[in-house]
Amino acid sequence: MKHTRLLLAFFISISISGSAYARETLEPAQMPQGPETLIADSGFRPADNGFQFENYSNNIPGLINLTVAEMRRMFGDRVCGSLANGVCTLTPPAKKWMESQNTSMNSGHCEGLAVLSSLIYSGTLSADPFGSATTPGLVITNNVALQREIAYWFSTQSLRVDATTSNEDLSMTPVQLVQKLETEFQKPAGQRDWFVLGLYKPAYLDGHAVTPYAIDDAGNGVKRIMVYDNNFPNQERFVFVNTISNTWSYTTATNPSEPQSEYTGNESTKTLSLSPISLRLRTPICPFCEEASAQELGATEVTTAPVIFTQREGQYDSVVQYALARQSVDSYAGGTLGYAQTFPLNGSSGSPSQVETLTFQNTIPGGSFDLKRSSFNHTPPASFYVPANAPYTTTVFSVETTKTSTSGILVETKGFYLSVENIVLDPGQADKLVTYLDDAAQIYTATYLTDYSETPLLAAGLETTDADYDVELLVHGEGAGKAATFIMNHQTGKMTIYTQRASGSDSYDINIARIDDTGEHDFQKASVTLEANSTHYLNYKDWMMGQPLKVEIDRGRDGTIDQTLYLQNENMVKFFLPIIGR
């Protein structure tokens, strides 16, 4: 069955004041409770082998996360739309994926810290290239090499080495998970695997990543998983597992600047997980590439970079979420993947409810998901995968009850992306994006629906053999409510845009990037009038540098072109984020 890939992205800036955070006294459950017997030990210790700086968001001055270099390291040169003059210009889908990963790190880098500290301790990597012979000697401020390395390993949690299998195992009960760790830690050093331990609250909220390194027996049927929690450097901390009741508990904070709270679960919650780090060392499937590597096509050899590119069928639609919003995907064929509220956010008085009950569900046949452990913002980031070439409605709704938050939706499939950005969500607001992505015909349709006043940035990018195209439309309008439709049809080479305005007019700004063997060429034009009951067709494929952009207008939407505009290129700021580290 053919699938595509959807990415749901939410953009929000978080700042954490100060370089040192106020610490609470450890809860009694976090302190040693008496004589313990060490059962299995990897030798790792937080003070000797962990980073001495805390988990961080994107607030560090001059911070650099993923760059083009890391993208090429991860996926090879197939992420380059152009290599003109030896400079890799990313394909539009690759650039959007990189930007979405970098934005998600604003919710913390715990995953990258957990993975990299294990890789250095195991001898797989060395700390030397990052400025010290040991992990505790490394600093993060002004250390671009270390910043990029942590970002690289953070992003591997969003990838799969097998199209149908997540890198994270959520299937184990607490007792089974402890047994798995005991078995691995008792193996000789060169034969054991290393893991990220994932911790979640109910409905997979507040995901956090820590490094497990030993198991001890606290008596009375209680075993403790000893962990390095990168929110609390230099501390030995413990996840308690009651092997009699098959339950677990841990006290921590997803954000080191916030009060700690308790995480708990049992054999049914599936909120304690293991992610083998060995899978991060294999060549991953590229979720957005037009071409596949030999590994994706079933070759058994695993190399450090993708090789033998050839065409493949897309395999999944996925929805990735990573800021102040939550989401669900509804299939027109039936089923939901994501979050459902058991009662509305708005209370009987019309004001946002202070209490919210969420459930997480997956009732779409063939649907699956990968969680992302990065949650300074108390949101449930995830990649959702659903069968391709079918219509879906993605709903994004605010998690705030007293203030607005800024979000966006990013959808990626094989060699293509579309996105809606600049969505400002009021408390209780829920916006929708209806999509139908036809890979075979290269026709991609999206309608953005909101009951609020918005100025959305609609964008789509396509990778082809001749050239790559990135088209962005910033839509302006007045009044509450908007339904904006845009269609990229590469058969005709036109981008269609219209809104549901009954009278008056909207306007939009245009940014087009064409990437070919000679490099990247840009077109910008501001304030193009879009009259009510009119459709505009932008001839993006025919545009060449130095030429005007042809725009055809169908007034009345009767299929007749009533006017043709030839728009001249203007010098204006690009809407999309710059590519760094080329």
Q: What does the pLDDT profile of the chain (582 residues) look like in tens digits?
A: 334 344 333 332 222 222 222 333 334 344 444 456 899 999 999 999 999 999 999 999 999 999 999 999 999 999 999 999 999 999 999 999 999 899 889 889 999 999 999 999 999 999 999 999 999 999 999 999 999 999 999 999 988 887 777 889 999 999 999 999 999 999 998 899 999 999 998 888 888 999 999 999 999 999 999 999 999 999 999 999 999 999 999 998 777 777 888 999 999 999 999 999 999 999 898 888 886 543 443 332 222 222 222 222 334 444 444 344 566 787 777 888 877 754 344 433 344 444 446 778 888 888 877 777 866 555 555 677 778 778 888 888 776 778 887 777 888 888 899 888 888 888 878 888 898 888 888 999 999 988 888 778 899 999 999 999 999 999 887 556 678 999 999 999 999 999 988 788 889 999 999 999 999 999 999 999 999 999 999 999 999 999 999 999 999 999 999 999 999 999 644 444 433 333
Spatial CA neighbour of 513 closest among 450, 432, 576, 581? 576
Do residues 489 and 442 lie in contact, with contact meaning Cβ atoms separated by under 8 Å?
Answer: yes
Q: What is the rounded distance in angstroms from the CA atom of residue 371 to the CA atom of residue 453?
A: 31
The tokens of 166 are what? Answer: 């997540």
CB-facing half-sphere around the CA of 398: CA atoms within 13 A: 22
pLDDT score recorded for residue 247? 98
pLDDT score recorded for residue 357? 61
Bridge partners (DSSP) of residue 577 are none
pLDDT score recorded for residue 318? 46
Quote the DSSP letter at residue 285: P
Quote the DSSP letter at residue 189: T
Exposure letters 428-457 (e unless 16+ CB within 10 A, then b): bbbbbbbbebebeebbbbbbbbbeeebebb
Quote the DSSP letter at residue 27: P
The tokens of 569 are what? Answer: 């290129």
pTM score: 0.84
pLDDT score recorded for residue 371? 79
The tokens of 388 are what? Answer: 């391709």
Do residues 322 and 371 lie in contact, with contact meaning Cβ atoms separated by under 8 Å?
Answer: no
Q: What is the rounded distance in angstroms from the CA atom of residue 121 to the CA atom of residue 126?
A: 8
Q: What is the rounded distance in angstroms from the CA atom of residue 424 to the CA atom of residue 451?
A: 12
Spatial CA neighbour of 199 closest among 159, 246, 238? 238
For the chain, the 3-state helix, strand and coil shares in percent, each to the nearest 5, are 15, 40, 45
Residue 170: phi, psi to the nearest 5? -100, 10
Spatial CA neighbour of 443 closest among 500, 492, 485, 497? 492
Sign of CA dihedral 304, 309, 313, 318: positive
pLDDT score recorded for residue 237? 96
Do residues 293 and 73 lie in contact, with contact meaning Cβ atoms separated by under 8 Å?
Answer: no
Q: What is the rounded distance in angstroms from the CA atom of residue 97 to the CA atom of residue 65?
A: 13
Quote the DSSP letter at residue 77: G
Dihedral over alpha carbons 235, 241, 242, 246 (to 10 degrees): 160
Cβ atoms within 10 Å, residue 280: 22
Q: What is the rounded distance in angstroms from the CA atom of residue 509 to the CA atom of residue 526?
A: 4
Q: Tell me how far apart the terminal alpha carbons of the chain are, to the nearest angstrom.
A: 37
